[in-house]
Amino acid sequence: MGIEDRGDNEYAASVRFHSLLHEVQDGAAEPVTEIWNLSRNTRSVKSGYWPVFSNYPDD
Number of DSSP helices (H) and strands (E) in the chain, helices first: 0, 3
pLDDT, residue 53, reads: 59
pLDDT, residue 46, reads: 64
Contact 32, 22 (CB under 8 A): no
**Of 46, 41, 37, 40, which Cα lies nearest the Cα of 13?**
37
Phi and psi at 18, nearest 5°, equal: -115, 135
Is pLDDT of 59 > 90?
A: no
Tell me the pLDDT tens digit for each residue of 5-57: 888 888 888 888 889 988 888 899 999 888 888 888 777 666 666 766 555 55
pLDDT, residue 31, reads: 92
pTM listed for this prediction = 0.56
Q: Which residue has the higher pLDDT, 59 or 4?
A: 4
